[in-house]
Structure 1
Amino acid sequence: MTTFESLGLSEELLRAVTELGYINPTPIQEQAVPVLLSGTKDFIGLAQTGTGKTAAFGLPLLQLIQADQRYPQALVICPTRELCLQIVKELELFKKYQPAMHVVAVYGGSSISMQIRDLRRGVQIVVATPGRLIDLIERKAINLEQIKYVVLDEADEMLNMGFQEDIEAILKNTPERDSTWLFSATMPPAIRQVSKRYMDNPAEVTVGKVNAANKSIDHQYFITQAMHRYETLKRLIDFNPGMYGIIFTRTKLDAQDIAEKLTREGYDIEALHGDLSQEQRTKVMNKFRDKTLQLLIATDVAARGIDVSGITHVINYELPDDVEVYTHRSGRTGRAGKTGICMSIIHQRESFRLKQIERIIQVPMHKLEIPNGKDVCRKQFNHFMDRLLATDISHGDYETYLPLLIEKFADVSKEDVLKMVAAQEFDRFLKYYENSEDLNIRSRDPRDRREGISVDRRRGEDGGAPRERKQFGGSGNYTRLFVNLGTKDGFFKASFLQFILDLSDLRKDALGRIDMKEMNSWVEVDPKAADQMIRSIDGKNFHGRKIRMNPADSAPPRRK
């Protein structure tokens, strides 16, 4: 078995990783480190999040850089503040025996003047988010002309967030770099284009298969009617006491709405979405990392770069449109050799999408029954009893109170005491589930049963009258809107959907089809919501360009 000693690392780095408990490198570390230590080879590393990519590029950087030269020699670009800080934290651990080596994080939402001050003190490695780095370049607060190594970490996420222009501008500002190292979980066409334009015959290493899901994750799905999504979510949480997880929604409105409902019902949960300030976001994330919060509910954009260890469950409140997004979501659990569970709540018309996801991630998805009320209560009781039996009574002065307790309960049987304890803990819980309904969708016709999914193409979702098919831009069921944003702006359909929903504060069910082209897109929207969407989006700025949105059948305004 390969060890870190065999990778060619320096004595100082080996000493640091040994003290951290690292013995054998992960597959991406084993294949990447020897190549990167050459220092002159462009490199593409494809591996899922949580496979040790930071060490794969961080250890070679710390060995290649000249510690006695106090100017930026390496640049690590990543999508979010959280990932930026995480990378710096790991590099600080690796450079324990290299005191002359300095690493600085620069990111938005924090004082730029303090970051400029840190840069002026002298630094060899800069870890940055794209937007803040562009800001520093424009202020002439950082000189990238002597950068030798550029690392693009989570490259697919950065492009999916619309950072392609920023990344290309940064690469143009590092003309003297010896090599570019690109790490990504997936390889969409936009990443391939960047590699062709800015990399020279890169060595490429793939750990697992591109888009493939982590094999240590159990992928489960539960079929219910759309109106029962929230009840299904609540039941899945209750059936898994001790869950420490992230719930993903399409829009910030859904995230906030569900968080408020669950909070009112006594759950430890908070929402993470685009309306939070950086200070509020940091507060929420600290509470989640400290496990003060049991659950975090987030949109995909808000959750970019989150890296929290020990997450047991990921729940898709709705399936994402893109398989890449599903891979990123599920990859939050089952990390560092641990197992995890990814649950998806779907309705029966989404069966074809399950097949698409299953085919691409190359991992089977298991259909499970939504637990009934009695099953949930039984699971909660067992969990409570296990916690009760495991209670540590060795540190309190309980002996002092024991005679009083014995006297107080002298006429109460052991069975009655247990019932009282259960009633105190579960009275409200039992009443809630006492007459709970079955949330599963049952097949009405055995001929229509396919792997447990009821599909009747002649009927509606609930097996009733046939639904009227909504035509794209022609039937009057939807108003068709034009918007001057497209795939060239770095959007995938899922990220574009969330972008317009977040700006307009509309729900997903207000939208129909989205037709995306390179420069423009057309969006179907409920006629009652069309004016709200236009007011919210038309005239806004996107990367310095004014967004134009108007009804597709009206002439666009003339530019002056």
Structure 2
Amino acid sequence: MTFDELGLNPKLLKAVHSLGFTTPTPIQQAAIPDLLEGRSDLVGLAQTGTGKTAAFGLPILQLIDPRKAMAQGVVICPTRELCVQITADLKRLACYLKPLEIVPVYGGAGMANQIRQIKRGAQLIVATPGRLLDLMHRGVVPTSQIRFVVLDEADEMFTMGFQEDIDEILKQTPDTRRTWLFSATMPAAAERIAKTYMHDPIELSMGQRNMGAENIEHIYYVVKEKDRYIALKRLIDFEPDIYGLVFCRTRAETRTVAEKLSQEGYNAEALHGDLSQDQRNRVMRGFRDRTLHILVATDVAARGIDVEDISHVIHYNLPDDTERYTHRSGRTARAGKSGFSLMLVNSREVHRLPEIEHRAGVRLKRGEIPQGRDICEKQLLAIVKKMAAVEVKHSDIADYLPLVHKALGNFCKEELIQRFVSVEFNRFLNDYRDSSDLNVRTVKSKKSAWKSPEKADKNVQRFFINIGRLDNINEGAIVRWVCDKTGIRSKKIGQINLKREFSFFDVDKQVASKVLHGLKNTKLENRSVSIKPVENSPIESRRSYGKSISKKHSSRSNRRHRAQKRPAYRCADPRRG
């Protein structure tokens, strides 16, 4: 099937052909004919990089009336990067549909200019949820004529906490509108939207629900927490032509990793929420132009990355939400190409891998962090191949060769080869001369005495801290926090037990006083931490602390519930309040 068979008007077909597209992707083949009728709601599930933008973009561009200078459609997406990218893609597809106006609106940019563009008569608005809702409240975006609402990357918007915004947007738009939901996965929140706001939607699924691309090789590496950064360097060095995306969990870690790589000579930069729009544009321009080879990003910032030919996605940290693994790995192997998704995990995180396999519908393979000698051999061969393949412009360099012969005339052939290779190769020889094996060969059983939460260990001291999963922390963050603030080695830390609103962790009793002193009045992820030693056995401490905190939250909840049920009385005598 070709785009000519989908029912698109000649102006859109002209734009499609000018962009070099001839064959629609599976989601485009399935969605476009139905959406062009303009009478159906739709839920489309497809992996990132399969052409979802054109799948909803071509129909909405054909159905909007360019003669009416008012908002007729909105495309809602999770981040400003993605908002800018979708707008650029739609403008390219609509280049022959003038005077159709497409306006991006998102937070972090001046609202006055966005308001002016909308008031000029924009027919299609591409927006992030918060900014769109703000403009609706201000009366800038009248909703009465909106005929189409597209929710793009819907699962990510729900993960980021935009459920209430999307609910309100859909409530304010006419019941007669068409709603098209596109997503890589189908979480419960997306299913609720479909049931609440859509009418008998068409359901399209390219592959199984929540399944990642088939042409990605998924590999995990088990390393010690302290070796995580060194392991990352080895994975990068083992691929001389890497064009990769490294995912970190926090903005701070993104900055740290990118700065370390840059200082050590790697062509790397960070992408995170603290950057200005100009800085983001500069970083993304460098990455798209491939003058930047390694992009270190947070999950949220990476949502706007629409770049072909990314060879590797490296998970420096596992995502907090397992479903985000699908989005991360989907940055590679786009448009039917192949790629690698590599994960660095410590022994305490291995238990999360089966859940990732199940949720993402992938098979994970255990890999070995390359040894120093293997890296040196691969880099040496890459240098030699590059030298052998280089184009020699004989006539252009002829005038300069006498100078070269004069400078190098005293060296024999063997010495010349050694010196030319060493120009780039010496760095790897220096880095890996005394390198050790970073792979954790065995992972301790969960039933061992050290790991078991049901048995007290006289050599272990347990600590309680007042932060948990609700604070977006994981075991690795606690290990880094303890080691950084106290100076103890990670091997002195035992079991870490994360709860919803609090956590426990064990340390060797020999360093317990050092840990307690070092962690008092400190912060973890900008959150003040209260730490207390637990005198009971581990299982008793969990029960007692858990019950006391649950009881505290229960009493608060009951008070709020009673307050809500209490009737409001109005006193006629103002002196009585």
TM bin (shorter chain): 0.7 to 0.9
The change in CA–CA distance for 1:36 and 1:346 in structure 2 (over 3 A counts) is same
**Which of the pair has more CA radius of gyration?**
2
Q: Which amino acid aligns with 2:138?
A: R
| Match status 1:477 vs 2:466 | no
Match of 1:466 among 450, 459, 478: 450
Larger relative helix fraction: 2
Matches within 5 A, 1:415-426: 415-426=414-425
Percent identity (aligned): 46
Contact persistence 2:240–2:382 (CA under 8 A): yes
Q: Which residue of 1 aligns with 2:378?
A: 379
Find the aligned partners of 1:331 and 1:530 in 2 and give their Cα distance: 41
Match of 2:472 among 459, 478, 497: 497
| Match status 1:21 vs 2:20 | yes
What is the Cα deviation at residue 280 of structure 1? 2.8
Contact persistence 1:107–1:128 (CA under 8 A): yes
Unaligned 5+ residue runs, structure 2?
486-494, 506-514, 529-547, 564-577
Q: RMSD in angstroms over aligned alpha carbons? A: 3.2
Find the aligned partners of 1:498 and 1:359 in 2 and give their Cα distance: 22
Q: Which residue of 2 aligns with 1:545?
A: none
SS, match of residue 466 in structure 2: strand
Find the aligned partners of 2:101 and 2:41 in 1 and give their Cα distance: 24
Contact persistence 1:74–1:124 (CA under 8 A): yes
Q: Which amino acid aligns with 1:439?
A: L
Q: Which amino acid aligns with 2:25?
A: T
Find the aligned partners of 1:48 and 1:395 in 2 and give their Cα distance: 49
The change in CA–CA distance for 1:180 and 1:458 in structure 2 (over 3 A counts) is closer
The range that moved more, 181-190 or 128-137, is 128-137
What is the Cα deviation at residue 509 of structure 1? 9.9
Find the aligned partners of 2:482 and 2:133 in 1 and give their Cα distance: 33
What is the Cα deviation at residue 318 of structure 1? 2.4
The range that moved more, 354-363 or 188-197, is 354-363
Contact persistence 2:3–2:23 (CA under 8 A): yes
The range that moved more, 270-279 or 418-427, is 270-279
Q: Which residue of 2 aligns with 1:266?
A: 265
What is the Cα deviation at residue 349 of structure 1? 4.4
Find the aligned partners of 1:508 and 1:104 in 2 and give their Cα distance: 48
Contact persistence 1:146–1:177 (CA under 8 A): no
Q: Which residue of 2 aligns with 1:438?
A: 437
Find the aligned partners of 1:509 and 1:303 in 2 and give their Cα distance: 28
Find the aligned partners of 1:507 and 1:29 in 2 and give their Cα distance: 50
SS, match of residue 434 in structure 1: coil
The change in CA–CA distance for 1:42 and 1:530 in structure 2 (over 3 A counts) is farther
SS, match of residue 23 in structure 2: coil
The change in CA–CA distance for 1:191 and 1:408 in structure 2 (over 3 A counts) is same
What is the Cα deviation at residue 476 of structure 1? 4.8
Q: Which residue of 1 aligns with 2:2?
A: 3
SS, match of residue 427 in structure 2: helix
Q: Which residue of 2 aligns with 1:154?
A: 153
Find the aligned partners of 1:145 and 1:59 in 2 and give their Cα distance: 23
| Match status 1:86 vs 2:85 | yes
Q: Which residue of 2 aligns with 1:111?
A: 110
Matches within 5 A, 1:189-204: 189-204=188-203
Q: Which amino acid aligns with 2:472?
A: L
The change in CA–CA distance for 1:109 and 1:457 in structure 2 (over 3 A counts) is closer
The change in CA–CA distance for 1:529 and 1:67 in structure 2 (over 3 A counts) is farther
The range that moved more, 401-410 or 261-270, is 401-410
What is the Cα deviation at residue 365 of structure 1? 2.0
The change in CA–CA distance for 1:534 and 1:388 in structure 2 (over 3 A counts) is closer
Contact persistence 1:103–1:123 (CA under 8 A): yes
Find the aligned partners of 2:111 and 2:394 in 1 and give their Cα distance: 49
Contact persistence 1:253–1:506 (CA under 8 A): no
Unaligned 5+ residue runs, structure 1?
444-453, 460-464, 483-492, 539-550
Q: Which residue of 2 aligns with 1:102?
A: 101
SS, match of residue 210 in structure 1: coil
Q: Which residue of 2 aligns with 1:61?
A: 60
Deviations 1:185-227 (A, max 9, x none): 1111111111111111111100111111101111112222222
Q: Which residue of 2 aligns with 1:409?
A: 408
Q: Which residue of 1 aligns with 2:163?
A: 164
What is the Cα deviation at residue 176 of structure 1? 4.9
Contact persistence 2:465–2:502 (CA under 8 A): no
Deviations 1:495-525 (A, max 9, x none): 96169999xx968999955545xxxx55568
Contact persistence 1:146–1:176 (CA under 8 A): no
